[in-house]
Each structure stands twice: as structure tokens, then as C-alpha cells.
Amino acid sequence: MTSPYRSIFQAPGAKAFFLAGVVGRMPLSMLGIGIVTMMSQVSGRYDIAGALSAVLALSGAVLAPYTSRLVDRRGQRRVLGPAVAVTVLAVLAFLVLVDLDAPDWTLFVCLAAAGVTPSLGNMTRARWSELYRDSPLMHTAFSLESVFDEVVFIVGPILSIGLCTVWFPAAGPLLAVVFLAVGGYLLVAQRATEPPPHPQEGNSGPSALRSPGLKVLISTFAAIGVVFGAVDVTTVAFADEQGRKAAASLVLAAYALGSCVAGIVFGTLRPRRPPRQRFLLGVGFLAVTTLLPLWVGNLWLLAAALFVSSLAVAPTLVTAMSLVERFVPRGQLTEGMTWTSTGLTLGVSIGASAAGVLVDSFGARTAFALPAAAAVVALLVALLCRRWLRPVPEAPGTPVQAPRADGHTSAERDPDQDQLA
């Protein structure tokens, strides 16, 4: 581990909450793809599989921001435990109903309640922000979080798809909720590093959404989410068409590995370009490279294409979280991060559902046009709205003084305002 990464763990309790967050975020990569794999085996239909995965993602997009707002108001300990319990019970009920061959509508009802738990990665990012708000080490900490997001997306699909195909269909989703329960309650137990609640900011209304820059991030990430959701479903279908369905987990692992490598390198750097420029460059690279799967003919070329495309993912996510920290008050940081994740998960729901329909109608190779088109849309949104990717005052007439991830205050003028406006 290089020096910047070693330094961030000098704070007491940092290792404990970080490891709890890693375990608790495993469902991010296991649950949706596990449901797709399980339902495609049980029913033989990718449309219902993609639709169920989409409902799960949509549930998180709708419910998680409000849970995060409660976290900001009342604290992680009081809110996260009950939210985890609801999610675990909802997924377990879904698995039982699938086994009982219950009507489809009952499956959708269960998954509609499963998204109440916000990303544990955002919970740990809020803790890092409390520790290193005044330090450039926050850039390293956020980079490490994104790296382990990608580690989760390397390991998770392999576990989930592998267990579903080798053991029994529900094994992947079942293990996912076990990880959520263990990680969630271990994180709640780390009280010393829990960010203090901010009831005043929470009671003033959803002001996190008042930031134009945050709205741009949400919109851009919604399009990027379509890329992720469509790639997941289409990759599984493509591998199935090739007669090697279980190998889809390895292809998706390559997709996450590229982002992981990029994130590790990015975390050791002290970027000179302003966050807005870095964000636009990252989205642009993603838009260009997401075209590559349209021309592949086998699984190994697909893995290589997705690896290249994913090199932009972690740096773009890290930069986006740095921008969120500039856009919203400290007392609404978890909510602001979750709204950004909401855009992503909303896009995942659309991408997974639409990709399932395209696969059934036209085949997997044609369905790769969907993530390519969505990545181009993400770039257009970011470019057309780039003027709003600037810090906003925390209160009318008051400049934002919170330090940025690069160690400067957000009240300082962005060097890119004249270059990219």
C-alpha cells in the first residue's frame, strides 16, 4: 500500500468502519445480477429478470435518498439498523415467493421495498469527510472507496453468478443479504467515527437538490447508470448465446478491474486540473470507449473492450463525489451523495429493463447499442450543463468555505470557469 493510502488509516477507527463498509456494499454487485441470473434460470425469460432487477434499482432510487436524509438528521446508528432489517426481510420474502412459484406481482412488491437501505459506501464516505475535510487526504480516501466499489464489482458477480449456476438459483441473492446484514450492523457499531447528526439542516427541506450542479450530476449519472445496467444484462445474455453463461461473471469482473486499477493510480495523484474539467474528461472517455463492444465477436474480446471502457469509471466517480462535497452543506452530505447515487441507480433500472427487452427481441449483440447511446447522452448532458458544475453558496450571500478534496476552499475561484464556460 503506497504512502497516501497508509496515511488515511492513521485515524482511530478508520480501519473498522472501512472494512464494515466493504462487506456491507457487496449487495451492490451481487443482488441485481443475482436476480437476473436466478430468474433467467427459473423462468427462462430475460424480460422478467431485467424488470425485477430494474424495480430493485428503482426502489433504491426512490427510497434511499429519504433514508439518507434521516441519517443526516438523526445519525447513522438510529436509522441504518432498521433500514437494513427491512431490506433483508424484503429480499428473503422475494426468494421464498420465487421458490413457491408465486404470481409475478408479489415478486415486484417485495423488491419495491428492498431499496430502503442507502449505499453503505456513502455512509463511509461521510465518515471520511468528517476525518479529512481539511486535508488533501480526503481525495485519497474517496479514491480508496471507489477502488473497493470496483473490487466489490469484481468479486460480487463471480460469487453471485457462480453460486446461482453451480449451487442453486437463489444462492447469489441469499449471500448478498447476508453480507448486507453483517456489514450494516458492524458499521452501526462503530460509534466513535459516526458523523454527528444535523437536525437543523435536515428540517429545512430538501436543500441538497437546490444546487444546480448536483442536478447536473444526477442527470449525468442517470445516463451512466443506463450504461451499467444494460452492460450487466446484455453481458449475461451474450455469454448465454455463446453457450458459456457462467463466464459472464469473469467478463463483468474485467469491467470492474479496469476501474479498480484506474482508481488505485488516481488515488496516489494530486490532480492539477479542476474537478469540473476532470469530470468532463472522464465522461468523454467513457462515451468513446463504450462503443467498443459493438464490434466484438466473442467473450474474451468483450472482456477486453469492457476493461478499456471501465478505466474512466473510478476517476469520474471520485471527482463527482468531490463536486458533491462542494455543492451541499456539511449537514446534508450523505443526502447529496445519495442523490447522486440515485441518478445512477435510476439509470441502472432503466438500462437493465430496456436491455432485457432488446435482448429478447434482437439478441445480445444488438442490445450493446443501448449502453453506447446512453454514454453519448451522458457526455452531451455534462457538456451542455457544464456551467452549473461550480460550487454554490451554503447560504444566501455566504461563500462556501468548506475545503475541497484537493485541499483548497470551495469559495476560491475555479480556474476552469473561464476555460470551459
Q: How far apart are CA 314 and CA 222, in angstroms?
A: 16
- Chain mean pLDDT for the chain: 81
Q: Is the pLDDT of residue 399 over 80?
A: no
Q: Which residue has the higher pLDDT, 309 or 328?
A: 309
Q: Which residue has the higher pLDDT, 29 or 164?
A: 164
Q: Which residue has the higher pLDDT, 15 or 153?
A: 15
**Cα–Cα distances in angstroms (integers) from residue 223 to residues 21, 165, 190, 295, 319, in the given order:** 26, 30, 35, 22, 17
Query: What pTM was estimated for this model as a whole?
Result: 0.70
Q: For cell 449502453, what's the residue? A: 371
| Predicted local distance difference test score (pLDDT) of residue 30 | 86
Q: What is the pLDDT of residues 91-116, one digit of tens each?
A: 999 999 988 888 889 999 999 999 88
- At 213, the pLDDT band (50, 70, 90 cuts) reads confident
**Residue of 282, 264, 272, 270 whose CA lies nearest to 319:** 282
| Predicted local distance difference test score (pLDDT) of residue 280 | 92
Q: What is the pLDDT of residues 60-97, one digit of tens each?
A: 878 888 888 888 888 888 898 899 999 999 999 999 99
| Predicted local distance difference test score (pLDDT) of residue 397 | 39
Q: Is the pLDDT of residue 391 over 70?
A: no
Q: Is the pLDDT of residue 34 over 80?
A: yes
Cβ partners under 8 Å of residue 408, min gap 6? none
Q: Which residue has the higher pLDDT, 232 or 396?
A: 232
Q: Could you state, in order of their start, the residue ranges of all structural domains in the chain?
A: 14-193+207-393
| Predicted local distance difference test score (pLDDT) of residue 408 | 38
Q: Is the pLDDT of residue 368 over 80?
A: yes
The mean-pLDDT minimum among 133-137, 215-219, 321-325 falls in: 133-137
Can you give 241-254 as a three-state secondary structure string? Answer: HCCCHHHHHHHHHH
Q: Is the pLDDT of residue 411 over 70?
A: no
- Residues β-bridged to residue 395: 398
In CATH, what number does 14-193+207-393 get? 1.20.1250.20
The answer to whether the Cα torsion of 218, 313, 142, 191 is positive or negative is positive
| Predicted local distance difference test score (pLDDT) of residue 405 | 35
Burial per residue of 115-153, b for 16 or more beta-carbon CB atoms within 10 angstroms, e otherwise: bbbbbbbbbbbbbbbbbbbeeebbbbbbbbbbbbbbbbb
- Residues β-bridged to residue 409: 403
> In this structure, what DSSP letter does residue 206 have?
S
| Predicted local distance difference test score (pLDDT) of residue 164 | 87
- Inter-residue contact 30 to 172 (CB < 8 Å): yes
Q: What is the pLDDT of residues 116-136, one digit of tens each?
A: 888 788 888 889 888 887 677
| Predicted local distance difference test score (pLDDT) of residue 53 | 83
Q: What is the pLDDT of residues 346-362, one digit of tens each?
A: 787 788 778 888 988 88
| Predicted local distance difference test score (pLDDT) of residue 352 | 79
Cell numbers given for 7? 496515511
First to last CA, the chain: 39
Percent of the chain scoring above 90 in pLDDT? 23
Q: Is the pLDDT of residue 222 over 80?
A: yes
User: CA dihedral defined by 331, 333, 334, 336, rounded to 10 degrees?
Assistant: 120
Calculate the CA 401 to chain-centre distance. Answer: 28
Q: For cell 474528461, what's the residue? A: 281
CB count within 10 Å of CB 270 equals: 10
Q: Is the pLDDT of residue 333 over 90?
A: no
